[in-house]
């Protein structure tokens, strides 16, 4: 599969089989992430690989956050919500948390650190696709809670940018659609001080 094909055929695969992913494939995925562009070579990404019972770490923090936000629920409802939250960590045999740890250097622009970590995630998703595996990048408000930083040993300035759920595909993805690049592009071929809206 060439890069042209990989970019255009990769899809989010939310349903995967329970088959474990081999260590060599996991290492290939992580290595792909490290080849993302990074300003000033800070390499601000951090990876957390969860397999087997290691997924409990994610499941329990999701359950704790869910329980903390629950209001007016019975003990039975809280227990069911906890079980459901823990179960979400087991939707794939491999879960990789990707965080950004911005460099503590006044010359480094924090937003560029986020850009590098997001580029690492895209590299990983393309590598996963190239290996014939499926993945979905799950994010949301939960990722940015202080409890997540605490559980994963992240600093106060760091952020968990999401979790890649990876496995052998167990679904047929829908055909992808995008608006044309032309609809999002402005070509500038002569000197100008500003563009008119």
Assign 27 to helix, strand or coil: helix
- Any known ligand binding at 41? no
Residue by residue, DSSP assigns 88-154 as HTTSSSEEEEEEE---S-TTS-HHHHHHHHHHHHHHHHHHHHHTT-EEEEE-SGGGGSHHHHHHTT-
Which residues make Cβ contacts (< 8 Å) with residue 111, sequence separation at least 6? Answer: none
- Contacts of 9 by beta carbon, 8 Å cutoff, 6+ apart: 1, 129, 176
Distance CA 103, CA 106 (A): 9
**Residue 194 assigned to a binding site:** no
Cα–Cα distance measured from residue 178 to residue 15, given in angstroms and rounded to the nearest whole number = 22
Binding site annotation covers 186? no
State the Cα angle at 65 between 122 and 97, rounded to 5°.
20
* 39 annotated to bind ligand: yes
Q: Answer yes or no: is 138 a known binding residue.
A: yes
Binding site feature residues for FMN: 10-12, 39, 137-139
Residues of the binding site = 10-12, 39, 137-139
């Amino acid at each position: 599969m060439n890069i042209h094909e990989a970019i255009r055929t990769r899809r989010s695969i939310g349903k995967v089989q329970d088959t474990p992913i081999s260590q060599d494939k996991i290492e290939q995925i992580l290595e792909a992430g490290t080849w993302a562009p990074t300003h000033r070579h800070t390499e601000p990404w951090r990876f957390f690989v969860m397999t087997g019972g290691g997924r409990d770490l994610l499941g329990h923090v999701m359950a704790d956050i869910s329980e903390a936000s629950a209001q007016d629920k019975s003990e039975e409802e809280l227990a069911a919500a906890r079980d459901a939250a823990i179960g979400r960590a087991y939707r794939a045999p491999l879960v990789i948390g990707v965080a950004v740890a911005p460099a503590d250097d006044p010359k480094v622009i924090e937003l560029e650190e986020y850009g590098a970590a997001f580029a690492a995630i895209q590299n990983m998703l393309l590598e996963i696709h190239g290996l014939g595996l499926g993945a979905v990048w799950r994010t949301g408000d939960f990722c940015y809670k202080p409890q997540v930083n605490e559980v994963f040993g992240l600093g106060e300035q760091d952020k968990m940018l999401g979790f890649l759920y990876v496995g052998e595909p167990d679904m047929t993805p829908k055909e992808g659609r995008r608006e044309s690049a032309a609809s999002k592009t402005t070509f500038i071929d002569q000197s100008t001080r500003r563009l008119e809206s």
